[in-house]
Amino acid sequence: MLQLYIPKYEDLFFRQKLMGDPKTMSYNKKWGGAIDFPKEAWRDWFDWWLVNHENKRFYRYLQETETNGFVGEIAYHYDEERAVYIADVIVLAEYRRKGYGKEGLRLLCDAAKENGVKILYDDIAADNPAIALFLKLGFSEEYRTEDYIMLKKSLSD
């Protein structure tokens, strides 16, 4: 159904579309909703996430195997302040409810484990329906604040 794709610099048009789409980014409304990702920011972002990642950052597109079309992104990064790896899964709104989020999260966990990450976390807004997906895939609630729920999954299982 899905495969991971390492984006080339010129493929960042899809990330621009993903971040800028109000429906896709509706889960992010508490922190401002859609995010501007102008072409002037692409080079620094690309170098940070894909060239000089220092094994602290991982980023891939989710690509449909039949059409080769991009449907979302997965990523994780090491959060220095909290000393944890934080997950990120975003599926373009028009492709939601088709199993892509579940498959993307599974692929992300597999990649993180393969890269030596022992525990993966995600801090999800308390009103985000994606929480149920994470719980179904073996994440558990570590703690909650007024703003988010911290979910955790051991990848050594």
Residue 99's CB is within 10 A of a number of other CB atoms, namely 12
**What is the pTM (predicted TM-score) of this model?**
0.92
> Percentage of the chain surpassing pLDDT 90?
81
**Of 6, 16, 11, 156, whose CA–CA distance to 75 is shortest?**
6
pLDDT of residue 129: 85
Residue 149, Ramachandran bin (φ over 0: left; ψ between -120 and 50: alpha; else beta): beta
Q: Specify the DSSP element, H or E, that contains 13.
A: helix 12-20
Residue 33, Ramachandran bin (φ over 0: left; ψ between -120 and 50: alpha; else beta): left
61 lies in which domain range? 2-154
CATH code for the domain in which residue 86 is found = 3.40.630.30
Q: Strand 57-64 to strand 2-5: parallel, antiparallel, or no bridges (unpaired)?
A: antiparallel
C-alpha span between 62 and 69 (Å, rounded): 8
> Percentage of the chain surpassing pLDDT 70?
95
pLDDT of residue 153: 98
pLDDT per residue as tens digits for the range 73-105: 999 999 999 999 999 999 999 999 999 999 999
Provide the number of structural domains found in the chain. 1
Q: What's the mean per-residue pLDDT of the chain? A: 93
